[in-house]
Amino acid sequence: MQNVLIISGHPNINESIGNATILGEVATALPEAEIRFLDALYPDYHINVAQEQQALLNADVIVWQFPFSWYSVPGLMKLWIDQVFVHGFAHGSAAKLGGKKLIISFTAGAPEGLYSAEGLFGHDIQQYLTQFETTALLCNLDLQDPVYTFGMSYAGRDEAKVLEQKTLAKVHAARLITAIKQTAPALKMAV
């Protein structure tokens, strides 16, 4: 049986369209999944390391869901990683996470065309994922194919843009749900 843990790294999920829609869809489709909303758990940025490590130990499949922020994870999620994924727990000779599956799922504000050698950013989105590949390698996590969606910017949102982003987020959620189910075929969600 597989236990699924989803870490929401959005800094303010109540102001989100994309990530909130994705997580809402996933919660509906996979109601027994444990979703940990870092912004709600740690508004003061004081991470309960023991509690977070226990949640990770209980999981077989770990999903990091977040908005791409300055080409990485948002600050609260970075702090969570720094404090929770320490030597002796996440990596090193006494590491405890080895063999667990990791799915990176994120939304990017910019359109896909900007993420190319010819685009404004000068790099393909895959080049930005090296940090996650290295983290998975160091922690002996089985990194799965990432799930991501472009064009989820908070800038210039009018009613039509909000509807478009909700549609994109629902498609993203469907891909993430499929990835979770394929990764955890004997699905039993973490509680």
Distance CA(96)–CA(89), nearest Å, equals: 5
DSSP run (H or E) holding 56: helix 49-58
Whole-structure pTM value: 0.94
Condensed to tens digits (0 to 9), the pLDDT of residues 75-95 reads 999 999 999 999 999 999 999
pLDDT at 187 > cutoff 70 = no
Tokens 């990432």 locate to 146
> How confident is the model at residue 185, as a pLDDT?
66
Tokens of 87: 């030597």
- Position 190 confidence tier, pLDDT thresholds 50, 70, 90: very low
Distance CA(112)–CA(114), nearest Å, equals: 5
pLDDT at 4 > cutoff 90 = yes
Phi-psi region of 100 (alpha: psi -120 to 50; beta: other; left: phi over 0): beta
How many helices, marked H, and strands, marked E, lie in the chain? 6, 6
Condensed to tens digits (0 to 9), the pLDDT of residues 131-165 reads 999 999 999 999 999 999 999 988 878 899 899 99
> How confident is the model at residue 175, as a pLDDT?
98
Tokens of 120: 């404004």
